[in-house]
Structure 1
Amino acid sequence: MTNTPLAELPAPPTTAPLEPALRARGLTKVHGTGDTAVTALDAVSVDIAAGRFTAVMGPSGSGKSTLMHLLAGLDTPTEGTVTLGDTRLDTLGDSQLTRLRRDRIGFVFQSFNLLPTLTARENIVLPLRLAGQRTDDPWIDEVTDAVGLRDRLDHRPAELSGGQRQRVAIARALATRPDVIFGDEPTGNLDSSSGADVLAFLSRAVRELGQTVVMVTHDPVAAAWADTVLFLADGRLVDRITNPTADQVLDRMKAFGEVTA
């Protein structure tokens, strides 16, 4: 695997151009000022293809979580722009950004973030209720079938396994038909079997439901589920693998010194 910067890499072969769901241009994030300034992200430009599964990897401190937060509108860049569909995030006020995150972006976190007093179904439809939207029952049925939860909808989180709780979180993220779903280490708290199930459900959301998924992970096996893996180092986008295998991802991470043989 070459260390050629991403900007110099040839585009992956494709039979038709993929419309980006997200476009980032010159994204830079600097914390602090003067001598104490730290650049977390350094002039990153990238397109996230719609209807595809993208993984973001890199050593600790590489900027992968910063990139996700900026793409999702959870933080604002020091420089650069993020465009979701036709909407530039830097043109939005706080209340508009809140609505955009609620209506057009889904989140799946390592810690599940489910309300313990609600059933699985109530947790899934909660974003719609908070937004004052009607529940699209056929869509919710399709989502719960896709993640294999139809027989667990009346159970509360404490009655579910870790893998089932994460599937509830995925279904909740899908409930509003978002433009993009962001996963922040979504398998980090799961055993390998449950983690594989969750990754399979994310993949099904892409293949069968037409979703766009962006996942930050440190796990080469998890990254191998993606269509494309983006690699960051020292705040810069430095490489990309299309149609990855776990061995390819592992070899690339070894080049960063993140893992050893």
Structure 2
Amino acid sequence: MVHLHDSRETSASARGPAEAARAVHLTKVYGEGETKVVALDAVSVAFRQSEFTAIMGPSGSGKSTLMHCVAGLDAVTHGSAYIGDTDLTKLGDKELTHLRRDKVGFVFQAFNLLPTLNALENITLPMDIAGRTPDRRWMEAVIESVGLSGRLHHRPGQLSGGQQQRVAVARALAARPEVVFADEPTGNLDSRAGAEVLGFLRNSVRDLGQTVVMVTHDPVAASYASRVIFLADGRIADEMHQPTAEAVLDRMKRFDAAGRTS
């Protein structure tokens, strides 16, 4: 594994644990009147640099909404969302587009690869669009970390689902974003391919100093993170460090039991 020194680590260590992203009293409301739904209710949470955080909760708890708001994909109703020191609620559409392109990486359940481009072209596409030249050493480290060195000239149709998601992970990491947001990244994969992708995300934190925030419903996936945030009814309900799949599953069962008795 290639280890690279990242200048962000030096500045972060000088200041203490720095925050790659955070929500401050973040509220998200959909609809009005009788159709009003409060998806997030004054949520405050920070995602520290070089940390792998999973967001979990029952269906409808607001976990994907939280990620979308903090990532700048969805507008905030009240409160603030930050990437680094930038308040997303103060940005216009064009500024938001540039921030997402330059500072945020995304991995979704659907791989979102262009079928006419090979793996390497898909990885570098966001930087090509932005007119940026990839950092060669960083690219080599990313490609090695996701095990794609022998597949760079294959198109998506020539790759397995797990390999396609590796390309998506590499694309998210390639521009050295402040934070990578992953929304159910193993949802379309079998258990073996899913474990590989989760391992690559964890390695990107450990070996490349990346920050990863992942929404998942899977306790096994959450166990790859170093920290789990639990949401229920649009609020932070619990937090777990160094989780195991068994401990996460037990916590989720208690949410289910509370839901049945409420």
Given the two structures, how large is their TM-score scaled by the length of structure 1?
0.91
CA shift for structure 1 position 18 = 2.0
State the alpha-carbon separation in 1 of the partners of residues 29 and 256 from structure 2: 25
> Which position in structure 2 is the counterpart of 1:18?
17
State the alpha-carbon separation in 2 of the partners of residues 117 and 36 from structure 1: 43
> Which position in structure 1 is the counterpart of 2:178?
179
State the alpha-carbon separation in 2 of the partners of residues 154 and 85 from structure 1: 35
Matched, 1:32 2:59: no
* 3-state SS of 2:256 partner: coil
State the alpha-carbon separation in 2 of the partners of residues 216 and 90 from structure 1: 22
State the alpha-carbon separation in 2 of the partners of residues 247 and 188 from structure 1: 20
State the alpha-carbon separation in 2 of the partners of residues 194 and 23 from structure 1: 30
- Write out per-residue CA displacement over residues 133-170 of structure 1, whole angstroms, 9 at most, x where no aligned residue: 11222221111001000000010001111111000000
> Which position in structure 1 is the counterpart of 2:200?
201
Equivalent pair of 2:134/2:175 in contact (CA under 8 Å): no
> Which position in structure 1 is the counterpart of 2:113?
114
> Which position in structure 2 is the counterpart of 1:76?
75
State the alpha-carbon separation in 2 of the partners of residues 76 and 133 from structure 1: 28
Percent identity of equivalent pairs: 62
> What amino acid sits opposite 2:89 in the alignment?
D
> Which position in structure 2 is the counterpart of 1:222?
221
State the alpha-carbon separation in 1 of the partners of residues 91 and 216 from structure 2: 29
Given the two structures, how large is their TM-score scaled by the length of structure 2?
0.91
* 3-state SS of 1:145 partner: helix
* 3-state SS of 1:257 partner: helix
- Write out per-residue CA displacement over residues 234-256 of structure 1, whole angstroms, 9 at most, x where no aligned residue: 11111000000000000000011
Q: Which has the higher helix share?
A: 2
> Which position in structure 1 is the counterpart of 2:252?
253
* 3-state SS of 1:248 partner: helix
Equivalent pair of 1:73/1:89 in contact (CA under 8 Å): yes
State the alpha-carbon separation in 1 of the partners of residues 211 and 25 from structure 2: 22
> Which position in structure 2 is the counterpart of 1:89?
88
State the alpha-carbon separation in 2 of the partners of residues 83 and 187 from structure 1: 26
State the alpha-carbon separation in 2 of the partners of residues 121 and 137 from structure 1: 13
Equivalent pair of 1:127/1:175 in contact (CA under 8 Å): no
Equivalent pair of 2:109/2:183 in contact (CA under 8 Å): yes
CA shift for structure 1 position 35 = 2.2
Pairing 1:45-84 to 2, within 5 Å after superposition: 45-84=44-83
* 3-state SS of 2:237 partner: strand
CA shift for structure 1 position 186 = 0.2
> What amino acid sits opposite 1:238 in the alignment?
A
* 3-state SS of 1:150 partner: coil
Equivalent pair of 1:62/1:235 in contact (CA under 8 Å): yes
* 3-state SS of 1:18 partner: coil
For structure 1, list consecutive stretches of 5 or more residues without a partner in the other structure: 1-15
State the alpha-carbon separation in 1 of the partners of residues 233 and 82 from structure 2: 24
Pairing 1:141-160 to 2, within 5 Å after superposition: 141-160=140-159
State the alpha-carbon separation in 1 of the partners of residues 135 and 242 from structure 2: 34
- Structure 1's consecutive aligned runs of 4 or more residues displaced over 4 angstroms after TM superposition are none
- Write out per-residue CA displacement over residues 9-46 of structure 1, whole angstroms, 9 at most, x where no aligned residue: xxxxxxx9521111211000111112221101101000
> What amino acid sits opposite 1:210 in the alignment?
G
For structure 2, list consecutive stretches of 5 or more residues without a partner in the other structure: 1-14
- Work out the number of aligned pairs and report it: 245
Matched, 1:169 2:168: yes
* 3-state SS of 2:133 partner: coil
> What amino acid sits opposite 1:234 in the alignment?
D
State the alpha-carbon separation in 2 of the partners of residues 23 and 38 from structure 1: 23
> Which position in structure 1 is the counterpart of 2:129?
130
> What amino acid sits opposite 2:116 in the alignment?
T
